[in-house]
Every structure is written in structure tokens, then in C-alpha cells.
Amino acid sequence: MKEIIHVTTQQQLNQCLDIRKEVFVHEQQVDESLEIDEFDDSPQACSHVLLQEDGLPVATGRMRPYKEDTMKLQRIAVRKPARGTGAGKAIVLALEEEARRIGYAYTLLDAQCQAEPFYIKLGYTTVSPETFLDAGIPHVRMKKQL
């Protein structure tokens, strides 16, 4: 059974950080000092979500205000065994739903180029004129009207 958790405790936040370290730091070789930032200091620093499947943490994402009408989705990560199961989609939809609930009209994200088709399927449009590097990985900026 899949369950989306809106993170409120340090233990839940630590589970999110563990997923991100596994995916970004270990798999993709992103420097941990670039991956973990001030928005990870506490569950209140920004809005994190955690997807658990059968009680095990499998995916995470976070969001924070970008502009008055736009929420920025960040750090969306899915553990290898859960890829292709809808876990990433569940995280994105949960973040969008929360952004819409609190009054945002748009979501924005910087997608790794290899994930661009995934986000297009979820209704995102590429808005950056060209790719750019983030932590040494090619990205594009994408936006969606909620």
C-alpha cells in the first residue's frame, strides 16, 4: 500500500534525506554539500513529502515558494526498486495538490534532462531556452499551470 506523508517530524525528514543521499549523492555522484541545504534543516524549513510503500520509504520531494504565484518543486527522488511503479508521479501530484491547496497557480522545477519526458507526461512545459548544469548534471526548467 502506498501512503503519502506530509513531513512533520525529524524522523520523517531523515527518511527523505536518506533517499536523496542514496539517489543523488551515491548514484549520481552529487556532492552532499550541494544536495543538503538550509531547506533541509528542519521539517518546517520547507514542505517535504515522503512516499512509503508497505511502510518503507521509497520516494521524496520538496517544494518552496518561488514567486508570489509559483511554487518550486525540488529534490524529487525515487529509490531504484520503486522506479517505474508510479512513485515519482505520486510525489509530483502530492506536491502539486498541496501547492494548489495553499493558493499557488503554477509549479516550476529544474528537471534533469533524462527526466524531461517524465515531466512532459505530467503536463509540464520546458521553459528554459537551453539546458544548464546543476551539480554538473544537465537540466531544463519546466513549468505547469495548476
What are the per-10-residue average pLDDT scores of the chain (146 residues)? 96 98 96 95 97 96 98 98 97 98 98 97 97 96 98
For residue 49, the tally of other CB atoms under 10 A from its CB is: 25
What pLDDT sits at residue 134?
A: 94
The string of DSSP codes covering the chain is -EEEEE--SHHHHHHHHHHHIIIIIIIS---HHHHS-GGGSSTTSSEEEEEEETTEEEEEEEEEEEETTEEEEEEEEE-GGGTTTTHHHHHHHHHHHHHHHTT-SEEEEEEEGGGHHHHHHTT-EE-SSS-EEETTEEEEEEEEE-
Beta carbons of 119 and 95 less than 8 angstroms apart: no
Q: Where are the extended beta strands (E) located within 2-46?
A: 2-6
* Cα 77 to Cα 35, 69, 104, 145, distances in angstroms: 12, 25, 23, 22
CA distance 145 to 104: 9
pTM of the predicted model, to two decimals?
0.96
**Residue 130: its pLDDT value, please?**
95
| pLDDT 10s digits, 82-111 | 999 999 999 999 999 999 999 999 999 999
